[in-house]
Structure 1
Amino acid sequence: MERELKLRIAPEDLAKLRGAPLLARAQATADRPEFLNSTYFDTPELALHRCKASLRVRAVGKRRIQTLKLEGAVEAGVFDRAEYEMPIKRDTPDLALLYDAISADSDCGRLIRDQAAAAQLAPVFVTRIHRTAIALHLPSEDELEIALDEGTVDAQTRSVPLAAVELELKQGKPEALHATALELLKTAPLSIDHRSKADIGYELLVAEHAAPVKAEPVRLSKDNSIEDVFCTIVHNCLSQVHANERGVVSGHDPSSVHQMRVGLRRLRSALDLFAKAIPPYSGLDDELRWIAAELGAARDWEVLAGATLDRAGADGNADELMPVRQACTLVAVDNRQRAAAAVESVRYTRLVLELALWLACKKWRDDMTGKQRAALDSPARQFADKVLRRRHSRLIKRGKGLADLDDHRRHRARIAAKKVRYATEFFASLFSKRAVQHYVKALTALQDDLGWRNDAVVADQLLRTVSRRSREAAPGAAFARGYLSSRVAADHQTLKKLWNRFRRLPPPH
């Protein structure tokens, strides 16, 4: 099993990183720089890639090493995946060497035993890397290998440069990877690398992009402690955040921005839920607000340019709205690029590393009394019940007379509804399944109505901006504002019914 943290660096900063105090002490025993020439093999139909595997033969001087890697988990920049590596006496793969390691019942196992597929294997791309490997023995007794890589990834028609830092855990605890990366970040700007070298190579061959990833259900056990539940929920939220980072960086699908933003909202809500029992570290919420805001601007303009203007043009006014849509799309694309830059920034890298280290080491315990630490071991069921009832009561209070509230107070009620929804979904497996489904169904209908109303309020503000910036788009923007205003007014009775239906329901228990 391979466990490594991948970071990217500008080529001009590699020399600076070599001078990092942490590495300078270890350089005396570092291996001499090596040239690694790795040829990746696949069938013409890229059957291995479809199996989410990569196969290479690496030349290191006169030695040849065959490596098969399977897809694994990636979180906070750490790739955790199965790796099968062995010496080989030729420049082409010998799949028979993998039979004992890979089950014949798996997709990959069946493929490597397919003689017809094996006969079709051919080079698809090559990585040519100059690597300096530094063995790092930490006072904590953790052992890492730091690889400083510079080179190219070359396919038949295209080539891209590469400069990277890889921290591989040889022995010890995974949190040593994040702690070491934070130390290196003090010397040179680094960013989380969301792609392996194989990912980069295959992107030169096929135009595929990371799909947006929705949240997975949270699975809890009724005998979990408060701390167990906290860790499970936060890791669930972070999995959604990290799974969408690559899609945000590529900039091809605005839905990745939306899903990463949802993951951040869920995370902030989870931290708020547990704040009295497990206080977040100083500055965490400010940094989460920052990255959420960077994504939020892109999402708001995407919604306006898409769904909102689609509704406004449904009655045959599409031509009048075309200049508005074009103006909004340009702003949306610009903001999507800004979101991508934020996710690739040093600031975001530091946030990811610090949060991962805080979770792994359970650093919240450091400043707690014995009584507070003991309370974390209490069963979570009673805690969840209390929290959900408190959130429900807050929503009922803020939503009084909901259909007649002004935009500001209705927005506060919408946020309260969102927090109740997240809390219910987080704790769902601790309560009656039927009660949860009934409650969430009514809450979802209410949220959907409040959500498009909020989109209308945001759209009105953005359309005013469009009118000021573009004389050509101003008439269409004015029409869209009027249309949205009429839709909101017509929705009064619907919102009233949805609220009355929800407020009669008790929270799950």
Structure 2
Amino acid sequence: MERELKLRVANEDLGKLRNASILAQSEATAGTPRLLTSTYFDTPEFSFHWCGASLRVRSVGKEKIQTLKLEGSAKAGLFDRDEFEMPVNSDTPDLKLLCDQIPDDSDCGKLIRDETVAAQLKPVFVTRINRSAFELRQPSGDELELALDEGTIEAESGSVQIAAVELELKQGDPDMLYRVALEMLETVPLRIDHRSKADIGYALLVAEHSEAVKAQPVRLDKRDSIEDAFCVIVRNCLDQVHANELGVVSGHDPSSVHQMRVGLRRLRSALDLFAKVIPAAPGFDEELRWIASELGAARDWEVLAGSTLEHAGANGNTDEIRPVREACEQIAVNNRQRAAAAVESVRYTRLALQLALWLSRKGWRDEMSDEQRNAIGSPVKPFAADVLRRRHKKLIKRGKDLADLDDHSRHRARIAAKKVRYATEFFASLCPRRVVRHYVEALTALQDDLGWRNDAVVADQLLKSLLTKAPEAASGAAFARGFLASRVAADHQTLKKLWKRFKLLSSPH
């Protein structure tokens, strides 16, 4: 298993890293800079790529090394994946050498055993990297390799220059990867690298877009402690956040912005849910609010330009709505670029590394008493039941006379409903399935109604701002605002029924 943390750096900052204090302070030994020439092979149909694998032969002096890497996980720049490496006698791969290591019933195993695949292999791109490698031996006994890479990735369709930092764990605690990265971040600006060199190479050949990733179900065991459950839930939230980072950065799919924002909301809700027993590190909430707000502006304009104005133009007023939609779409694109810049920023890199380190080393334990540590070791089920009851009770209180509340009060009820939904999803595996299903169905229907009503309130504010941002859209904006107001008024009875249905239910536990 290969465990690497990948970060990007500007070419002009590589020299500063070579003189970084961490290399001077630790027992660091530097090898002679080497030129690594790696040729990646695949079939004309890119069979290995679509299988989630990369196959290369690397030349280091006279030595030739064949490497197969399988698809793994990549979170906050940390790549965990299976790697199979061996010397070869030629410039081309020898797939037979891999047969003893890859199961024959796996997709990749079938590929390497297919003689037609071996016959079709051809070079698809080449990386030429000048690498300075440092062995870092920490007093704690942890051993890492820090590689500073500078070079190009070349294919027939074009080439890309790269400058990168790779930290590979050789022995010891994975926490050290984040510690070293955060220390280097104090020397030069670094950014999370969402793609491996193979990913970048294939991007020169294949037009691919990162798809938006929804949250996976949280699986808890009734024997889990409060701390165990906290780790599982927070890691689940972070997985969703990190899975959508590349989609936000590429800017192709607005849904990635939405799903990353959802992941951040879930994460903040989880930290709040456990706050009394496992307090978050100072500053986390402020930074999470910041990145969420950077994504929020893009999402609000996307919703307005899409579904909201689509409804407004459904009654034959497309000509009047068209300039409004065009103006909103342009603002949405601009805000999507702003969101991408935020995810690419040093500030976000630092936050992602700090969160990963805090979770990995269970940093909350540092300031706890023995009594507090014992408390979070108790079973999670009673804690979950208490949380669900309290969250449900708070929603019932805030939702009194829900359909007749003003926008601000209804917004507070909507937030309470969202927190109930997240808490229920976090602890669903601890509750009777049938009870959870009925509860979530009623809550989802209520949330959907409150959600589009909130979209209407936000849309009204955004449409007002168009008077100065796009005067040519003023007439259409006024029509859209009137249309949304009429829809909200017509929804009064529906919201009353949805709330009445939900009030009859008890919290699942």
TM-score (norm. length: structure 1): 0.99
1:421–1:443 CA contact under 8 A, matched in 2 = yes
Q: Distance in 2 between matches of 1:105 and 1:470?
A: 59
Task: Name the structure 2 match of 1:331.
Answer: 331
Per-residue CA deviations over 1:164-214 (Å, capped at 9, x if unaligned) read: 000000000111100110011110000110000000000000110111000
Matches within 5 A, 1:26-425: 29-425=29-425
Q: Distance in 1 between matches of 2:272 and 2:264?
A: 12
1:342–1:348 CA contact under 8 A, matched in 2 = yes
2:154–2:160 CA contact under 8 A, matched in 1 = yes
Per-residue CA deviations over 1:43-92 (Å, capped at 9, x if unaligned) read: 00000001000000001111111000000011221100000000111001
Per-residue CA deviations over 1:248-290 (Å, capped at 9, x if unaligned) read: 1101000000000000000000000000000001010000000
Displacement of 1:365? 1.0
Q: Distance in 1 between matches of 2:257 and 2:323?
A: 24
Task: Name the structure 2 match of 1:11.
Answer: 11
1:432–1:508 CA contact under 8 A, matched in 2 = yes
Aligned structure 1 segments of 4 or more residues deviating by more than 2 angstroms: 24-29
Q: Distance in 2 between matches of 1:458 and 1:353?
A: 33
1:135–1:143 CA contact under 8 A, matched in 2 = yes
1:237–1:267 CA contact under 8 A, matched in 2 = yes
Task: Name the structure 2 match of 1:467.
Answer: 467
Displacement of 1:383? 0.3
Displacement of 1:472? 1.2
Displacement of 1:28? 6.7
Displacement of 1:31? 0.4
Q: Secondary structure at the match of 1:66?
A: strand
5+ unaligned residues in a row in structure 1: which ranges? Answer: none
Are residues 1:435 and 2:435 paired?
yes
Q: Distance in 2 between matches of 1:367 and 1:157?
A: 55
Per-residue CA deviations over 1:325-363 (Å, capped at 9, x if unaligned) read: 111111101111111111111100110111111111111
Displacement of 1:100? 0.4
Q: Distance in 1 between matches of 2:139 and 2:346?
A: 26
Q: Distance in 1 between matches of 2:306 and 2:105?
A: 45
Task: Name the structure 1 match of 2:495.
Answer: 495
Q: Distance in 1 between matches of 2:22 and 2:501?
A: 61
5+ unaligned residues in a row in structure 2: which ranges? Answer: none
Give the counterpart letter for 2:502 in structure 1: F
Give the counterpart letter for 2:483 in structure 1: Y
Task: Name the structure 1 match of 2:479.
Answer: 479
Q: Distance in 1 between matches of 2:437 and 2:479?
A: 40
Q: Distance in 1 between matches of 2:452 and 2:269?
A: 21
Q: Secondary structure at the match of 2:295?
A: helix
Give the counterpart letter for 2:271 in structure 1: L
Q: Secondary structure at the match of 2:276?
A: coil
2:17–2:184 CA contact under 8 A, matched in 1 = yes
Give the counterpart letter for 1:143 in structure 2: E
1:26–1:134 CA contact under 8 A, matched in 2 = no
Displacement of 1:366? 1.1
Q: Secondary structure at the match of 1:150?
A: strand
Displacement of 1:223? 0.8
Per-residue CA deviations over 1:70-117 (Å, capped at 9, x if unaligned) read: 000112211000000001110011111101011110000101111111
Displacement of 1:24? 3.1
Q: Secondary structure at the match of 1:148?
A: strand
Q: Secondary structure at the match of 1:201?
A: helix
Displacement of 1:132? 0.2
1:27–1:134 CA contact under 8 A, matched in 2 = no
Per-residue CA deviations over 1:405-434 (Å, capped at 9, x if unaligned) read: 000000000000000000000000111111
Q: Secondary structure at the match of 2:149?
A: strand
Q: Secondary structure at the match of 2:210?
A: coil
User: Relative to structure 1, is the Cα distance of residues 281 and 27 closer, same or farther in structure 2, using a 3 angstrom cutoff?
Assistant: closer
Q: Percent identity?
A: 72
User: Relative to structure 1, is the Cα distance of residues 28 and 184 closer, same or farther in structure 2, using a 3 angstrom cutoff?
Assistant: closer
Q: Distance in 2 between matches of 1:314 and 1:206?
A: 38
Give the counterpart letter for 1:285 in structure 2: D
Displacement of 1:29? 2.4
Displacement of 1:26? 5.7
Q: Distance in 1 between matches of 2:394 and 2:49?
A: 50
**How large is the RMSD of aligned CA atoms in angstroms?**
0.9
Displacement of 1:219? 0.2
Give the counterpart letter for 1:353 in structure 2: L
1:26–1:135 CA contact under 8 A, matched in 2 = no
Give the counterpart letter for 2:480 in structure 1: A
Q: Secondary structure at the match of 1:160?
A: strand
Q: Distance in 1 between matches of 2:39 and 2:310?
A: 48
Displacement of 1:135? 0.2
Give the counterpart letter for 2:154 in structure 1: D
2:7–2:164 CA contact under 8 A, matched in 1 = yes
Give the counterpart letter for 1:428 in structure 2: A
Per-residue CA deviations over 1:148-172 (Å, capped at 9, x if unaligned) read: 0000111102111100000000000
2:144–2:167 CA contact under 8 A, matched in 1 = yes
1:245–1:260 CA contact under 8 A, matched in 2 = yes
Q: Secondary structure at the match of 2:145?
A: strand
Give the counterpart letter for 1:208 in structure 2: E
